[in-house]
Amino acid sequence: MSKRPWLWIVVITAVVLLLAPLASRLPDGLERVAADLGFEGRAAIVPAQEHAPMPDYSIPSLPSSYAGLSTVLAGLFGAMAVFLALKGVETLLRSKGPAGRPHRRDSRDDVRFPQGPRQGLRQP
């Protein structure tokens, strides 16, 4: 289990997604406050966001009788999108810039790159 910790998290995520149709439909904290205090109607959707692919965590092309499936699928796509986006971010965070140059040279980096900081200044 601890050899592939991410796999364990993926399993938990899948279980949580299957539970998504059971989520409460009561107004969320902010939504409730906005309704009680009378500014809920201000909520607007800018034109650029009008055609978001899965509004309200559902697949628009599925009929409403498949609401549960719709939610699970939307959640699955969303979780995959977050996973893939963060895999890209992970790669960016791991790379140390062009030609293996540390992004930020400090004493610690110099220990890890014993050839010295000048090495990185050479252009390929």
Q: Which residues bind other proteins (CB under 8 A)?
A: 1-2, 5-6, 8-10, 12-13, 16-17, 19-20, 22-34, 36-46, 48-49, 52-57, 71, 74-75, 77-87, 89-90, 93-94, 96, 103-104, 106, 108-109, 112
Q: Would you say 94 or 118 has its CB closer to other proteins? A: 94
Sign of CA dihedral 46, 52, 57, 62: positive
Residue 71 CB-density burial (10 A; 0-12 exposed, 13-18 middle, 19+ buried) = buried
Output the smallest distance, CB 112 to other proteins, in A: 6
Q: Would you say 86 or 121 has its CB closer to other proteins? A: 86
Output the smallest distance, CB 98 to other proteins, in A: 14
Q: Would you say 40 or 69 has its CB closer to other proteins? A: 40
- Reduce the DSSP state of residue 9 to 3 states and report it: helix
Q: Would you say 13 or 62 has its CB closer to other proteins? A: 13
Cβ atoms of residues 110 and 118 within 8 Å: no
Residue 38 backbone zone (phi > 0: left; psi -120 to 50: alpha; other: beta): left
